[in-house]
Amino acid sequence: MAILKFRISWEEDDAIYRDVMVKHTQYFTDLHHIILKAFEFDEKHDATFFRSNEKWQRGREISKAVYEKNYVVPPLMMDEVLIGSEILNTNQQFVYLYDFAKSWTFLIQLIQVIKNADANMELNYPLVSRIEGVGPMQYGTKGLLGPNFTDIEEKYDLTEAQDGFGEEGEDADASDLETDDGLSADEEEEDAHASDEEDESDEDAGGMFDDSTEAY
């Protein structure tokens, strides 16, 4: 038995990677699960591995399931293929694709083979042995705010307000808006100005508003 150490790099930034260790007798399903755990992704979506070469060209798939798409050759199944059976050289490479709608892509390279005599067989494999860089958030902002974000979003209708705009017409000029009295803002301002002039006239005459006078 041997322990295989793989470096899993995020395709968009190879400075962000995780080292994982698996037994060569474990299956690609085990590698699939430990990659998601390493990057703190859930397991709700489709996934597949590709055999690859030094140029990261994609070859035959080792897939979680047979999906409705065109295959050059039928895929192998993750839960049937031993990881060790696909190691053809000391720098073996694979490409891992998760969530076909989002196309999360990770580059996998074998970086070390630890023989049984040197391996710590008391550890629970597969495992994450090294973490470098802050990984991508699977669900963006929602991932940062947690599962309650959906409830907040629905309560305050954040989906419609996210661009800073409301319904059509709400960003009209203030001069076009009507007050509760049916007047535009400009008309109300003119009316208030006229009232102030009347107030000044009343004060000059020594008059005061009585209780029956409507204030503006």
Q: What is the pTM of this model?
A: 0.66
Q: What is the pLDDT of residue 119?
A: 85
SS3 149: helix
Q: What is the pLDDT of residue 3?
A: 96
**CB burial readout 54-81, b (16+ within 10 A) else e:** eeeeeebbbbbeeeeeeeeeebbbbeeb
SS3 186: helix
CA distance linking residue 93 with residue 62, whole number of Å:
13
Q: What is the pLDDT of residue 142?
A: 44
Yes or no: say if 57 and 50 are a contact pair by the CB < 8 Å rule.
no
Q: State how far Cα 32 lies from the chain centre.
A: 19
CA distance linking residue 121 with residue 2, whole number of Å:
10
Q: What is the pLDDT of residue 35?
A: 98
Yes or no: say if 39 and 32 are a contact pair by the CB < 8 Å rule.
no
For residue 137, the tally of other CB atoms under 10 A from its CB is: 13
* Domain residue extents for the chain: 2-138, 174-204
Positions in the chain short of pLDDT 70: 141-216
Q: What is the pLDDT of residue 120?
A: 87
CATH match for 2-138 among 2.60.120.10, 3.10.290.30, 3.40.50.150, 3.90.1200.10: 3.10.290.30
